[in-house]
Chains A and B, each alone.
Chain A
């Protein structure tokens, strides 16, 4: 076996579980749901063997609750689910946001709404992850297009979650979760560990990056953690306009102000492109095949793949809007991200949407690009 890294053929969901273990995840709570259950089943086998905790909860409300409870003891904690489960997790998501609790949610998206088609693909949870809980908050959401990225971006989700004290999503689609391909499991990766300093206010506003230290239960900090509006020590301040504005603005700003640090994109053939596809997740694979087919005919098309969905890669998309004349946004939903593109560019934007529970194939993207070019 190699010393630096190990090459395996894995399913996307298994690679995500490997990534979680590599990132230092020591707690999993979840509820079975297709098409994400392989993550849970693998962690049920692996976590207890390395001193971690696995528990199957009674529902998704309890799952994210247990994850947050565990996170406050100092654990790196996660859950995995799909759309219907994510709908139930919205209350926990808001709680994690306002209490600034690091946690990772892997969402293997299926065709919705409601039960929809449990075994079929969709990209319908982008806006739910961003706006599904009430009030203003900004989670981090990453979008893998391969089994390798299921591994890499799960590790990154843990790191970003710890770095910014926010819930972080891996927003994958069923087609990536159940894809099997070669993945390289790295030995040497950089891990972010939480600052557990006892002393400074755990919900303070003085840090330049907006991220206060987070002691754990049992550290002797006499923590007051609450989902109500609170001051820097955790005292409830449920009638103070100033305290509420200050808290809500900070928990959003600490993510949005670091878009450059968080948002990653993957550019293909953009140097001289006149028409570009802006894509994410599994669709990126079809888009790249389409772009390559057109490039073979000397057509100046390119592609910008968003590896980060939230915070939205503002700078990269704005820059793209200035260098191309037309953008195509294919999505396995009725247009959840195209609006984000439209509000940042002045060039023409066309959408290509499909909600039949199947992936968008390269031929469809290629045909639409040809229409745009001609």
Chain B
């Protein structure tokens, strides 16, 4: 991170584990808002509960609303409607936004209220100790699925698109340039925009799935990334085992 970005940060260090992707996402996020030259005073970050909810709070020095588990989009809806001048950005994890908060996520997309939702997807519950999420791949081992998860994960971009999102994109944190570009597009999009950042969790996901080495975990993530064109040759089931990356605005 270039030191010029430090004026966005409130604290000198983050609480993230070594190898966690959330720090990269934090860096991408402050670069995106910096490049867009949004007035700091009108910027509001809203988050739920979990590691990803700590990306804005307390790290980013703007107004932050760190809420209860799952409800970030609902809190953000109230703030945006009551003060439309605010640029409202929700940052939270896959469990927070799509398990306990799934209903609020799809209703946010349906209403198409002008906000950006950024999902740091680490495919597991990090903060609570590595339990299964609604995004955990089939077969991946977790604290609550020691023999491997048996249920299909959500395709979050497809989910919000089906519910009416104006813009959706998915990138791994290992593609920071494209991630920053999509974050900027999302923030500038009028209506409900969604960016899913694939952000590996070495502590809870890696060590339970024979990917103890952080480099190996990132290599595996990148090897699973395919483009939309490549995905077209795969079955729906096969696509769920990969990360289809790119922008997904269907109309």
Contacts and interface: CB of A to CB of B under 8 A. Distances in A.
A55 B81 contact: yes
Given A225-B65, A226-B57, A234-B58, A62 B79 contact: no
A66 B58 contact: no
A27 B63 contact: no
Nearest to A220: B41
A95 B83 CA distance: 21
Interface stretch (B68-76, B117-125, B181-189, B191-199): B68-76
A66 B83 CA distance: 12
Contacts of B61: 222
B75 A73 contact: no
A224 B58 contact: yes
A71 B116 CA distance: 20
B62 interface: yes
Nearest to B65: A225
B103 A69 contact: no
A58 B85 CA distance: 24
Interface in A21-72: 26-27, 29, 53, 55, 57-59, 61-63, 65-72
A65 B74 CA distance: 6
Interface string A203-234: 00000000000001111111111111000001
Contacts, number: 126
B78 A221 contact: no
B77 interface: yes
B44 interface: yes
Nearest to A215: B63
B64 A223 contact: yes
A217 B71 contact: no
Contact of B78 (A68, A74, A216, A234): A68
B104 interface: yes
Contacts of B71: 61-62, 65, 91-92
Contact of A217 (B57, B65, B66, B81): B65
Interface string B124-148: 0000000000000000000000000
Contacts of B63: 217-218, 221-223, 225
Contact of B75 (A26, A66, A236): A66
Interface centre among A27, A55, A224 (most CB of B within 10 A): A224
B67 interface: yes
B81 A70 contact: yes
A67 B82 CA distance: 9
B86 interface: yes
Interface in B1-35: 10
B103 A53 contact: no
A61 B74 CA distance: 8
A77 interface: yes
Nearest to A63: B74
B contact patch SS: mixed
Given A66-B81, A217-B65, A57 B44 contact: no
A126 interface: no
A69 B64 CA distance: 11
A62 B82 contact: no
Interface in A156-173: none
A237 B91 CA distance: 21
A91 B82 contact: no
A142 interface: no
Contacts of A66: 74-75, 77-78, 81
Contacts of A71: 78
Interface in B173-231: none
B107 interface: yes
Contacts of B46: 69
B41 A70 contact: no
A29 B58 contact: no
Contacts of B40: 222
Interface of A: 26-27, 29, 53, 55, 57-59, 61-63, 65-75, 77, 91-92, 95, 216-228, 234-236
Interface of B: 10, 40-42, 44, 46, 57-58, 61-68, 70-71, 74-83, 85-86, 103-104, 107
Shortest 4 CB-CB contacts between residues of A and residues of B: A69-B78, A66-B78, A70-B82, A65-B74
18 contacts: A27-B78, A58-B107, A61-B70, A61-B71, A61-B74, A61-B104, A65-B68, A65-B78, A66-B81, A70-B78, A70-B81, A75-B82, A77-B82, A91-B68, A218-B63, A218-B83, A224-B64, A234-B58
